[in-house]
Amino acid sequence: MLFSLARCTGEGDGDQNQGEGLELPEAPDSTELSLGNSNEDASQTPPTNPLCGTGICFPDFPDYCDAAQGDGLGGFGGMGPGLPQGGLGGLGGLDGAAVACHVRPPNTCASDECTTIRACSRAGEQLEGEPCQSNTDCAPSMACVERQGKGFCAAYCCAGETSCSEGQYCGEAKSKQYSETILPVCLAVDACDFAAEANCHATGSCECGQGYSCTPQKDTNANVCVLSGTLAPGEPCTGQSPSECQGGAVCSLEEGCLKLCEISAAEKLSSESSASCPEGFRCAKPPEFPDNLGVCTTSSIPDEPAAP
């Protein structure tokens, strides 16, 4: 049985030197400029987490949109050499304000076709960890995300762990400005208690807080708080994100989401059903789990986990 551990992926192939000859998109409002939002454009970007959507600009780089701003008074100046993929001569209406690449929903779309996009827009001055209400509050290369209702600035990690500092991991958080948008951002390692996950969600006592779960994080070998998913135990999961299964469950690549359970010394040696699991399931301890924590399964004791 293979389990997926929390790991932010940003693999992919891209050529930053492509993009010449791209047509200029229709002019949006005076405070935002989209640097390409089509699927064709997405194939020409650097390696990017799928949560970062499509577009030409790249959120992890704080100076990516600077060349597009120009004098801030020149309007749409056409394609130029300022950006690796072709820039814009000026961003009319921004009046010389700082600009940055942000991930957000499109302005308009059909409900079944909506996808996040990357676009240059205003940036602010709030630094990592400082409070915010929208992306325009945060300094370039940062997004405004929330936990427990409080907004704070966090660095984008669309390219994965390499964008994060020591003591951080590339995780997922809800956008404070766009509540339905999930963003990959650099978060501090929480060192939360994974062993408590079997029961804390039922009692509302989880240290990560409501809507979050504690899970092992492969790249740092530490426990971190991640967004809880929506898939119930028994539903299939892909292992592509740590935020697939409901709180109190983990993803098995073979059996889908599995309920976490407290395991006794006797249960570790028994093949009988467990009182902490549904009828017909036993509480089995994967090798990498804490001593008192297992998963409700009908299979034998799981093997080592596999990264998504």
Rg of the chain in Å (alpha carbons): 22
**Confidence check: pLDDT of 120 > 90:** yes
**Is the Cβ–Cβ distance between 130 and 149 less than 8 Å?**
no
What is the per-residue pLDDT for 15?
A: 34
CA angle 224, 229, 257 (to 5 degrees): 95
Residues 6+ apart with CB under 8 A from 268: 285, 294
- Encode pLDDT of 155-178 as tens digits: 999 998 889 998 888 988 999 999
What is the per-residue pLDDT for 114?
A: 74
> How far from 128 is each of 18, 38, 153, 188, 190, CA to CA, in Å?
32, 30, 5, 11, 16
* Nearest in space to 94 (alpha carbons), one of 74, 64, 117: 74
**Is the Cβ–Cβ distance between 36 and 25 less than 8 Å?**
yes
Which single residue is written with the structure tokens 């799981």?
Answer: 302
- Encode pLDDT of 214-230 as tens digits: 888 776 678 888 889 99
3-state SS of the chain: helix, strand, coil percent to 5? 10, 30, 60
**How many alpha carbons fall within 13 Å on the CB side of residue 40?**
7
Measured distance CA(95)–CA(80) in Å, rounded: 20
What is the per-residue pLDDT for 305?
A: 44
**Is the Cβ–Cβ distance between 8 and 187 less than 8 Å?**
no
pTM: 0.66
What is the per-residue pLDDT for 268?
A: 58
> How far from 237 is each of 3, 17, 36, 232, 279, CA to CA, in Å?
10, 36, 32, 10, 22
Least confident of 91-95, 155-159, 278-282: 91-95
Amino acid, single-letter form, for residue 255: E
**How many alpha carbons fall within 13 Å on the CB side of residue 141?**
13
What is the per-residue pLDDT for 184?
A: 93
- Encode pLDDT of 14-45 as tens digits: 333 323 322 323 333 333 433 333 333 433 44
Q: Any idea what DSSP says for residue 131?
A: B
